[in-house]
Amino acid sequence: MSKGIRVAALDDIPEGEGIAVGKELTGTGDGIALLRDTDGSVWALDDTCTHEDASLADGWVEDGFVECPLHASRFCLKNGEVQGLPATKSTCPHRVEVRDGEVYLFPGEAP
**Pair 82, 90: CB distance under 8 Å:** yes
Alpha-carbon span 72 to 69, nearest angstrom: 6
Residue type, 39: D
Shortest Cβ 72–ligand FES spacing (Å): 6
Shortest Cβ 47–ligand FES spacing (Å): 11
Interacting positions 12-51 with ligand FES (CB under 6 A) = 49, 51
Shortest Cβ 49–ligand FES spacing (Å): 3
Question: How many residues touch ligand FES (CB under 6 A)?
Answer: 10
Q: Which of 53, 49, 46, 52 is nearest to 30 (CA)?
A: 46
Kindly report the CA angle at 55 between 97 and 33, in degrees rounded to 5? Answer: 5
Shortest Cβ 104–ligand FES spacing (Å): 27
Burial class of 28 by CB neighbour count within 10 A (0 to 12, 13 to 18, 19+): middle
Interacting positions 63-92 with ligand FES (CB under 6 A) = 68, 70-71, 73, 86-87
Contact positions vs ligand FES (CB under 6 A): 49, 51-52, 54, 68, 70-71, 73, 86-87
